[in-house]
Amino acid sequence: MKRSLFLATALFFIGCSQNAHKSNLDGEKLLQQKCSQCHNLDLPPQTFENEKAPPMMAVAFHVKNFVPANNESERIPNAIAFVKDYVIAPSRSKSFCDKESLDSYGVMPSQKGKVTQDELQAIAQYIFFHFTQKNLDEAQQIQNKLNAMPKGERLVLTNGCLACHRVDKKIVGPAFQDIAKKKGNSLDVLIHSIKNGSKNKYVTSKGAIMPSFKKLNDDDIKTIAQWILSLNKESK
């Protein structure tokens, strides 16, 4: 349980640190709007068989490492300037990509008329303050811990269930162990509760209403319910 709380806290503070460098324009939001159709923005990055462009982390690392700079203090400003120029007027000769990558992805199309210089400034600033080795290492450590968890526990953590529940302690909602022990809480009952929420269901809820989680697919809901019920066996 402490592991889950640590991961939830770590995810929160990483998000805060990554949002620390922002101008009036929201670089993160603009990156999603303008770049995510072609570039994967995950950290750690994901790759796909028919992807249109390299992951943004690879772009950030490549540009930062290869852009000419007389000293380290110039590296980020020069990288930002490169992005602002290249996005509007891309060419094979300007690219820092290796020949194999250029042959695979091709040269990106010009975004002239689709993004302003101010927007590019905000996007590039966010890219080079977000896609860093430090953030990658932290994200990878969290991902490794998530991958080592039972899938049900991982789904509970990543879908915000710990905002209202703990494994062995009642907060807004009952402890998962208490839910597992409650007579009549079969797998089907829990699946129904997770999917549909608890509105008008419990007299003793004191106004706390569990939202429905219909956004989750049936397999994930079943996995969460099975994990909750398994806690009854663990507590014996």
User: Comparing 185 with 67, which gets the higher pLDDT?
Assistant: 67
Domain ranges of the chain: 2-139, 150-234
Does residue 9 register a pLDDT over 80? no
**Angstrom distance (rounded) from CA 230 to CA 118:** 53
| Whole-number pLDDT of residue 19 | 47
**Angstrom distance (rounded) from CA 38 to CA 36:** 5
Average pLDDT, the chain: 86
- pLDDT, one tens digit per residue, over 12-60 is 555 554 444 445 899 999 999 999 999 999 998 888 888 999 999 999 9
| Whole-number pLDDT of residue 49 | 84
Distances (CA, A) of 195 to 17, 91, 151, 160, 173: 34, 50, 18, 14, 16
**Angstrom distance (rounded) from CA 215 to CA 89:** 41
Query: What amino acid is encoded at 160 in this protein?
Result: G
| Whole-number pLDDT of residue 206 | 57
Q: What's the fold here for domain 150-234?
A: Cytochrome Bc1 Complex; Chain D, domain 2 (1.10.760)
